[in-house]
Chains A and B, each alone.
Chain A
Amino acid sequence: MKAQHPCFLVVDDSEDDRFLIVHALREHWKDTLHCVNSGNEAIRYLNGDAEFADRRKFPYPTIVMTDLKMPDGDGFHLLQNLKKNPAWAVIPTIVLSASRNLDDVKHAYALGASCYLHKPGKHADLNTLMGELIHFWDKCEVPEIDTEGKMLETHSTGKMGEHLPKFADKETRD
């Protein structure tokens, strides 16, 4: 991921799964990896509530990966909350779930999941999957945040051409 202050937040209630996921991602993500164990805890993390108030220790995430089936705020609940909040809606959110039920897949995408991965049963398969994830997301641009954990506001109007006259757009493209 091409963020200046990358932070990967893993949301999973299973201690074993968290261990395996962190193990698979650690080499690449190192100390930018953080874990919480429920949807509601993820929301507290994003808010910087109480135990997560120190942004140096608990940086604002640039990407979230969440399980679906969790007590105390499941993955759908988290997705819904991310979608509702304009500052959070732009954080890419990967679903990693043991469910391959088509309703769950559709529902997760409808709630704004970036992508949906099936959590493999085997450790080796999880490692492979996390490897593909790293290779791809490493190439993705994500919204920048500052060290305080706020999304950066810029005064630029963007370069995609919508604010420029068409000829100027064409010139830059040619």
Chain B
Amino acid sequence: MKARHPSFLVVEDNEDDQYFILHALQKSWPHPIHSVSSGEEAILYLNGKGKYADRKEFPYPTTIMTDASMDDSLKLLENLKKNELWQVIPTIVLSGSHDPVDIKKVYALGASCYLLKPCDNDKLTALMGKLVDFWNECEVPEIDLSGKQLDTAGEGNSGAGAKRQ
């Protein structure tokens, strides 16, 4: 990821899965990874509330990966989408379901992509490797160290800025 302060937030309620995902990610992701165990906790983290108040310890995430089988996972996606600051954070969904309805619902709620959670660890490690390789190449909104997204004064180079005004 081409952010200056990249940081990954993993949202996963299953302790074992959380352990394996973090372990697999850490093999290829050299930047901070943090994890929370519910959508509600993810919102606390994003808000920098409670134990997440220290942004040096809990940096604002530049990418989120969430499990889709948690009770409040769809609510988390809805909350991310509703919030102007959070809607621009790429959100990767990891799910145990290949039901087309679930896939569509998750994309409709603004997820960047939808991955099936592999059941074996080697496959999970390989998948996380591909994920990191790709997302390392992606531009993402910048944040500063206090955890705010950087506001830029530029109009954009892509020529659309003028028309947008």
List chain B residues, Cβ under 8 A from A31.
none
Chain B residues with CB below 8 A from A110, complex form: 84, 87-88
Task: Classify the secondary structure of A's interface with B.
Answer: mixed
Q: How far is the CA of A173 from the CA of B45 in the complex (A)?
A: 26
A69, B160: Cα distance in complex, Å: 7
Does A76 touch B at the CB level, under 8 Å?
yes
Contact A143 B139 (CB under 8 A): no
Q: What 1/0 flags go to A133-158 for Cβ under 8 Å of B?
A: 10111011111100000011010111
Given contacts A86-B108, A132-B137, contact A156 B100 (CB under 8 A): yes
Q: Of residues B68, B102, B115, B163, which shows the largest number of chain A Cβ atoms within 10 Å of its Cβ?
A: B102
Distance from A61 Cβ to chain B, minimum over Cβ atoms (Å): 13
Instruction: Please name 13 pairs of A and B residues whose Cβ atoms are closer than 8 Å in the assembled complex, sorted by A.
Output: A68-B160, A89-B107, A90-B104, A90-B108, A101-B154, A101-B157, A107-B160, A136-B133, A137-B134, A140-B113, A158-B99, A158-B105, A159-B96
Q: How far is the CA of A69 from the CA of B163 in the complex (A)?
A: 11
Contact A117 B138 (CB under 8 A): yes
Q: Is the CB of B87 within 8 A of A140?
A: no
CB distance from A127 to the nearest CB of B (A): 13
* Residues of B that sit less than 8 Å from A by CB: 2, 14, 68-69, 71, 73-74, 84, 87-90, 95-105, 107-108, 110, 112-116, 127, 130-131, 133-135, 137-142, 149-150, 152, 154-161, 163-164
Min Cβ gap B29→A in Å is 14
Shortest B117–chain A CB gap in Å is 11
Stretch at the interface among A22-30, A44-52, A92-100: A92-100
| Cα A132 to Cα B102 with chains together (Å) | 26
Q: Does A122 contact B (CB under 8 A)?
A: no
The answer on a CB contact under 8 Å between B158 and A136 is: no
Q: In the complex, which residues of chain A have a beta carbon less than 8 angstroms from the beta carbon of B101?
A: 154, 156-158
Contacts of A99 in B (CB 8 A): 156-158
Residue of A90, A97, A129, A157 near B137 (CB, 8 A) is A129
A56 located at the interface, meaning its Cβ lies under 8 Å from any Cβ of chain B in the complex: no
Complex interface: chain A residues within 8 A of B135 (CB): 115, 136
The CA of A10 and the CA of B137, in the complex, are separated in Å by 19
List of B residues within 8 angstroms of A109 by Cβ = 87-90, 140-141
CA distance A99 to B158 in the complex (A): 6
Structural contact, B97 and A158, CB atoms closer than 8 A: yes
User: B141 touching A101 by the CB < 8 A rule?
Assistant: no
Other-chain residue from A77, A112, A152, A173 in contact with B69 (beta carbon distance below 8 A): A173
Q: How far is the CB of A49 from chain B (nearest CB, A)?
A: 23
Give the residue of B74, B96, B141 whose beta carbon is less than 8 angstroms from that of A162: B74
A69 to B112, CA, bound (A): 22
Contact A139 B102 (CB under 8 A): no
Question: Within the assembled complex, what's the spacing in Å between the Cα atoms of A112 and B64?
Answer: 15
List CB contacts (< 8 Å) of A43-74 with chain B.
68-69, 74
Bound complex: CA A157 to CA B100 (Å) = 10
